Structure 1
Amino acid sequence: MSWDPGGATASHGKLYIYLKFLRMEQTFFSLPMAYMGAFVAVRGIPSPSVLLLIFSALFFLRIAGMTNDNLADREIDSRNPRTRTRPLVTGAITTKEAKVLIAIGLVGFFASAYLVNRWAFLLSPIVALVTMTYPYMKRFTAFANYQIATVQGLAVFSGAVASVGVDATSLTQVLGSVPWLFVIATILWAVGFDLYNHIPDADFDRKMGLHSFAVVLGNRALTFAGLNQLFSVLLDILADFMYNLGPISYASTVLHGLVMAYAFYLASKGMFGKAFYYNIYSSIILGLGIDLDILLGIPFT
Structure 2
Amino acid sequence: MNWDPGGASQNTSKLYVLMRFLRIEQTLFSLPMAYLGAFVVLRKVPSISVLILIFSALFFLRIAGMTNDNLADREIDSRNPRTRTRPLVTGVITVRDAKLLIIVGLAGFFISAYLVNIWAFLLSPFVALIVMTYPYMKRFTAFANYHLASIQGIAVFSGAVAALGLVYNSLLTILYYVPWLFVISTVFWALGFDLYNHIPDAEFDKQMNLHSFAVMLGPKALKFAGLNQIGSVTLAFLADYLYNLGPIGFVSTILHGAIMAYAYYLASRGDFGRAFYYNIYSSIVLGLGVDIDIALGIPFT
TM-score by length of 1: 0.99
In the TM superposition, 1:27-38 aligns within 5 A as 27-38=27-38
Q: Partner of 1:290 in structure 2?
A: 290
- Are 1:3 and 2:3 matched, yes or no? yes
Q: Distance in 2 between matches of 1:31 and 1:247?
A: 22
Displaced runs of 4 or more, over 6 A = none
In the TM superposition, 1:54-93 aligns within 5 A as 54-93=54-93
SS in 2 for 1:34: helix
Q: Partner of 1:109 in structure 2?
A: 109
Give 2:11's aligned amino acid.
S
In the TM superposition, 1:95-106 aligns within 5 A as 95-106=95-106
Q: Distance in 2 between matches of 1:53 and 1:142?
A: 34
Q: Partner of 2:274 in structure 1?
A: 274
Give 1:10's aligned amino acid.
Q
SS in 2 for 1:270: coil
Give 2:189's aligned amino acid.
W
Q: Deviations over 1:137-189 (max 9, x none)?
A: 11000000000000000000000000111121110111111100000000000
In the TM superposition, 1:131-280 aligns within 5 A as 131-280=131-280
Percentage of identical aligned residues: 73
The alpha carbon displacement at 1:298 in A equals: 2.4
Q: Distance in 2 between matches of 1:226 and 1:219?
A: 13
Q: Distance in 2 between matches of 1:86 and 1:258?
A: 32
Give 1:26's aligned amino acid.
Q
Evaluate the alpha carbon distance shift between residue 151 and residue 299 of structure 1 in structure 2; reply closer, same or farther with a 3 A threshold.
farther
Aligned length in residues: 300
Gaps of 5+ in 2: none
Give 1:40's aligned amino acid.
V
Q: Distance in 1 between matches of 2:125 and 2:70?
A: 21
Kept after mapping to 1: 8 A contact 2:193/2:280: no
Give 1:160's aligned amino acid.
A
Q: Deviations over 1:250-281 (max 9, x none)?
A: 00000110000000000000000000100121
Q: Distance in 2 between matches of 1:25 and 1:84?
A: 21
Q: Deviations over 1:16-36 (max 9, x none)?
A: 000000000000111000000
Q: Distance in 1 between matches of 2:60 and 2:230?
A: 31
Q: Deviations over 1:96-148 (max 9, x none)?
A: 00000000000000000000000100111111011000000110000000000
